[in-house]
Amino acid sequence: MKQSVLLDGPKFQITIQRLCHQLIENHADFADSAIIGIQPRGIYLGKRIVEELRRIPALQDVPYGELDITFFRDDFRRKDSGPLVPSSTHIDFIMEGKQVILIDDVLWTGRTIRAAMDAIQAFGRPAKIELLVLVDRRFSRQLPIEPDYIGMQVDSIDSQRVIVSWKEADTHDRITLLTEEE
């Protein structure tokens, strides 16, 4: 496989900071907003976003939760890889009337986000749902879902893979495009 590094080092952190500034522009003090990281890999970006926001004294109480969508996916009964092992959901507040920002690392087909929107309803009816992704794979959508906040866009074909590595889980921050060599 051929690997192309799309983003790493200081530019990775600068991208996260830029996303935080965009959120502040639209949500000010986050009084009526909440951030939700989608399990399993969106929680790394979600935690980083909240950590960055909480460095600002006025934003110490930004509500943050983590959402598992395993049993809301439209393909969870189709996988032959054995029993499913769901991640955990940690949401200790009500979504009712809040502006919810769903966070995931890569937006590809849109099916994960559709499942997250279904799952979030168990916690109340949000006033609005927005989507923040680190990587938007623009031309692979199967559902009409578009992000509100984008770290970077990648034009890729279905046979390529976009891998986001996080220092918390993978020892370094990096976005890599994997292409099968012919």
pTM attached to this predicted model: 0.93
Residue 73 pLDDT: 78
Query: Amino acid letter at 143?
Result: L
pLDDT in tens, 33-68: 999 999 999 999 999 999 999 999 999 999 999 999
What is the longest distance spanned by two Cα atoms in the chain?
53
Decide: 134 and 106 in contact? Cβ < 8 Å.
yes
76 pLDDT higher than 80: no
> Virtual CA dihedral for 67, 73, 78, 81, nearest 10 degrees?
-20
With a pLDDT cut of 90, the percent of the chain lying above it is 82
Nearest by Cα to 182 from 157, 165, 164: 157
Contact in structure between 49 and 30 (CB atoms under 8 Å): no
Q: If you classify domain 9-74+88-157 with CATH, what class do you get?
A: alpha beta
Residue 81 near residue 72, CB atoms below 8 Å:
no
Q: Where are the domains of the chain?
A: 9-74+88-157
Residue 123, pLDDT score: 92
Alpha-helix residue ranges (DSSP H) falling in 28-161: 42-53, 111-120
Residue 16: predicted pLDDT: 97
Alpha-carbon gap, residue 55 to 127, rounded angstroms: 27
